[in-house]
């Protein structure tokens, strides 16, 4: 089976070691370097045409994936995510994981990416991928990326955690999650109104047992800041 290793602390590379005959799937523009023993081809992925359509329509993922095959002997491969930030390798098999939009980087050939239905509340307000969300199946590894630094933590029964919507990258499919309203001194009703109009007061509450991966940066907030800075620069020029 392919061996995944994260190289570097800031904007790391994913190093993949392949033996002859092995292959991995990766996001369409993820390849940085591949040895001559490896072949790179476009692929619908191992979930087929329907899976590719669902991946494109419901997620911020490419219709086609890269399939990198060790056709002529063992070889090394370097991959990188489009968004600056951490990369983490999750073991798939004993646990299956749900991935937020744009989190997928690469997976073993034995791992399948499927689409799973979310509840209406989580789909509309959860910030995790709409009504359909990507779910792993099979046995192997999946590499996922978050904006900024990533941190893997354990959820234990009786100790639920609250996560800001846009900081959640991946989580064990056995974990229960639901959208909630963060209450402050403004009062519950005002928070509900704020959540309905801006989404800024909505959080995810996760409970049960399993691992979750979070990231330090909020992509939506960063893009809003960039847009505001651009407008300021345009006005001053």
Alpha carbon distance 213, 24 (integer Å):
22
Q: What is the pLDDT of residue 10?
A: 82
pLDDT at site 62: 54
Q: Check residue 79 and give its pLDDT.
A: 97
The CATH code that applies to domain 3-232 is 3.60.160.10
CA distance 63 to 54: 9
- Reported as a single tens digit per residue, the pLDDT across 9-45 is 889 999 999 999 999 999 988 999 999 999 999 886 6
Whole-number pLDDT of residue 177: 87
Cα–Cα–Cα angle for 165, 201, 191, rounded to 5 degrees: 155
Cα–Cα distance between 90 and 110 in angstroms, integer? 14
Which residues in the chain show pLDDT less than 50? 48-59, 119-131, 185-189, 191-192, 195-199
What region, left, alpha or beta, does residue 216 occupy, with left being phi > 0 and alpha being psi -120 to 50 degrees?
alpha
The alpha-helical segments, DSSP class H, found in 152-218 are 188-198
Computed over every residue of the chain, the mean pLDDT equals 82
C-beta separation of 68 from 24 below 8 A: yes
113: Cβ contacts below 8 Å, ≥ 6 apart = 25, 45, 46, 47, 51, 55, 104, 107, 134, 135, 136, 137
Q: What is the pLDDT of residue 161?
A: 94
């Amino acid at each position: 089976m392919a061996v995944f290793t994260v190289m570097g602390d800031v904007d790391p590379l994913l190093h993949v070691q392949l033996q002859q005959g092995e292959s991995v799937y990766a996001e369409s523009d993820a390849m940085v370097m591949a040895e001559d023993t490896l072949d790179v081809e476009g692929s619908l992925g191992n979930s087929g045409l329907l899976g590719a359509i669902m991946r494109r329509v419901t997620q911020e993922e490419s219709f086609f994936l890269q399939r990198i095959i060790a056709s002529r002997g063992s070889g090394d491969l370097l991959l990188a995510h489009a968004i600056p930030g951490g990369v983490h390798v999750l073991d798939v098999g004993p646990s299956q994981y749900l991935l937020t939009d744009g989190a997928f980087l690469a997976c073993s050939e034995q791992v399948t990416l499927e689409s799973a239905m979310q509840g209406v509340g989580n789909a509309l307000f959860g910030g995790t991928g709409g009504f359909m969300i990507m779910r792993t199946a099979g046995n192997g590894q999946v590499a996922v990326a978050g904006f900024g630094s990533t941190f893997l933590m354990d959820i234990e029964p009786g100790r639920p955690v609250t996560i800001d919507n846009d900081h959640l990258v991946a989580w064990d499919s056995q974990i229960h999650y639901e959208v909630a309203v963060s209450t402050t001194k403004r009062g519950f009703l005002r928070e509900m109104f704020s959540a309905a109009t801006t989404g800024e007061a909505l959080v995810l509450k996760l409970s049960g047992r399993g691992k979750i991966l979070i990231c330090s940066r909020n992509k939506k907030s960063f893009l809003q800041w960039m847009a505001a800075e651009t407008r300021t620069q345009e006005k001053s020029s």
